[in-house]
Amino acid sequence: MNCTQNNKLMQITPETMVVGVDIGSEVHFARAFDFRGFEFSKRAFRFENTREGFNAFDIWVTDLMKRNQKTKTFVGMEPTGHYWYGFGSHLQNMGVEFGMVNPYHVKRSKELDDNTPSKHDRKDPKTIAMLVKDGRYLIPYMPEGVYREIRNLMELRRQNVVQLISIQNRVKRWLAIYFPEFSTVFKKWTGKAALLTLKHFPTPQAVIKTGEEKIVATWKEEVKRAVGHKHAQKLIKAAEESIGLKHGLESAVLEIETLLDEYMIHGHRLELIMQKVEAQVKEIPSASMLLGIKGIGIVAVAGFLGAVGDISRFDAPEQIVKLFGLNLRENSSGKHQGKTTITRRGRSDGRYAIFQAVLPLVARNPEFRQLHLYYINRDNKPLKKMQSIVALCGKLIRVFYAILKTGSHYDAEKMMNDIKRPMMKAA
């Protein structure tokens, strides 16, 4: 990956035409410059986010290149949500190099030309092009094949989990209003007997009306584990002493039926998603070896692969650390020494995936657990617990990188080098 400032500048040569594009939901605007910032077009070129619009852009670029004797084009644009995907895919298919500029940089540098904070369709493409000319851009990665499938599936899983959590909270709210004593009978409302109860006789009034014999018979139809009369008696007693609302029960029953239907739909959908995720992960060489690390599951592996994509595009694990926004930044000036924190710039999904993977490792994996204890208890500059977790995130990234890059198995001995090296120095 050409990540350094010099490498980026080297891609913008005297033969390059730099095109800045302001991406919109339906219409895009472009302006063209040379490597010094001299503009080729008198006005911004307007083109729509359609096949015809992209073809018109190609014709416009080709004409400007011929008139100004340029041999290649480099397109810069601002990542405006998802609206750039279609245009980015078109450029990729046409073999045109393009880069993304940081929206924060655009906002900060747009006043350089006219000293005003104004924003409009003619101004923004120039600001974007000038940032590209100075090498202040990133090369976007558009995953293909199995990596695109995994990224899409993990995003779909995230959305589904959010919906499930929302439904669970709404069910808890419903129970707190209409049947607060339900939790004294069932530890979890998601258990089979609890779900059957909510499905067939959700309110205290319905429980009392149904009676002990019918309640037990309903449970035994689908629950293999015996849920007997004592449990039914406890449920009836809780219903008789319930302080839940006794009005509006018809609409309340409809609400809980709707929530349970949505819960079952999203639960089934999550199972299908994870089946597809497992199948896609198996397609990636060495990915199954990551699952050999004690405490690492399919969600952690797929989350990492979906955010990173093809590991071969990285030259070092530190690039992934920076991609996830886990690299450190220092806040200091003069005599003031501020706190050192992570930048949080980059792919938040990757940062979340690796963070969620490290937490169970600290609890279940002996090597990571021992390393965590060493970091927080060492004599020289001990880390706080959260600082140790962040350090272990970087460690796990390096482990994943080595396994995927070389195809080697997880080596617990190498994991302990951070502890062994200080001991050797002391000896």
* Direct distance between the N- and C-terminal alpha carbons of the chain, in angstroms, rounded to an integer: 40
CA distances from 364 to 104, 359, 370, 402 (A): 40, 9, 11, 22
Does residue 281 contact residue 305 with C-beta atoms inside 8 Å? yes
Structure tokens at 405: 């890059």
**Alpha-carbon Rg for the chain in angstroms:** 29
Q: State the Cα–Cα distance between residues 31 and 330, nearest whole angstrom.
A: 37
What are φ and ψ of residue 145, in 5° steps?
60, -130
What DSSP designation does 129 have? H
- The residue extents of the domains of the chain are 5-133, 149-278, 287-426
Which fold, 5-133?
A: Nucleotidyltransferase; domain 5 (3.30.420)
Does residue 16 contact residue 61 with C-beta atoms inside 8 Å? no
Q: What is the reported pLDDT for 150?
A: 97
Q: State the Cα–Cα distance between residues 99 and 97, nearest whole angstrom.
A: 7
Q: Hey, which bits of 305-382 come out as E strands?
A: 328-333, 336-342
Could you tell me whether strands 16-22 and 72-77 are parallel, antiparallel, or unpaired per DSSP bridges?
Answer: parallel
Handedness of CA 58, 60, 61, 63 (dihedral sign): positive
For domain 149-278, give the CATH number.
1.10.287.4070
* DSSP β-bridge partners for residue 329: 341
Q: State the Cα–Cα distance between residues 252 and 3, nearest whole angstrom.
A: 58
| Phi-psi domain of 247 (left: phi exceeds 0; alpha: psi -120 through 50; beta: other) | beta
Q: What is the reported pLDDT for 413?
A: 83
Does residue 352 contact residue 382 with C-beta atoms inside 8 Å? no
- In a structure prediction context, what are the per-residue pLDDT tens digits for the chain, which is 427 residues long? 445 778 888 889 999 999 999 999 999 999 999 999 999 988 899 999 999 999 999 999 999 999 999 999 999 998 888 899 999 999 999 999 999 998 878 877 776 666 566 665 677 899 999 999 999 898 888 999 999 999 999 999 999 999 999 999 999 999 999 999 999 999 999 999 999 999 999 999 999 999 999 999 999 988 877 678 999 999 999 999 999 999 999 999 999 999 999 999 999 999 999 999 999 999 998 999 999 999 999 999 999 999 999 999 999 999 999 999 998 876 665 665 667 788 888 899 999 999 999 999 999 999 999 999 999 999 888 999 999 999 999 999 999 999 999 999 998 888 777 676 665 555 4
Q: What is the reported pLDDT for 224?
A: 72
Q: What is the reported pLDDT for 295?
A: 94
Q: What is the reported pLDDT for 427?
A: 47
Q: What is the reported pLDDT for 337?
A: 65
